[in-house]
Amino acid sequence: MENKIKWETEMKAAKKQARFENKPVLLDFFNPG
């Protein structure tokens, strides 16, 4: 199992992966500080 979350950083790539894996997307808006 992964030891950290592997975040996508671009919507286009995330949607492509979501369609490929047939999963929803978690979009996290964060404050990088």
Partner 1 sequence: MDAVTYPDKNVIEFITKNIIPLRVPYNLEPLATDFTIKWTPTLVVLDKNGKEHYRTVGFLPPEELIPSLLLGIAKVHFELDQFKDAISNLEKILKDYPKSGAAPEAVYLHGVSNFKTTHERKPLKQAYERLTKEYPQSEWAKRALPYRLL
3-state secondary structure of 16: helix
Question: Smallest gap, in angstroms, from Cβ of residue 33 to partner 1?
Answer: 10
Number of residues binding to partner 1, judged by CB under 8 A: 28
**Region 2-31 residues binding partner 1, contact defined as CB under 8 A:** 2-11, 14-15, 17-19, 21-31
How far apart are the C-alpha atoms of 6 and 18, rounded to whole Å? 14
Distance (Å, rounded) from C-alpha 2 to C-alpha 6? Answer: 8
Least distance in angstroms from the C-beta of 6 to partner 1: 7
Residues that bind partner 1 (CB under 8 A): 1-11, 14-15, 17-19, 21-32
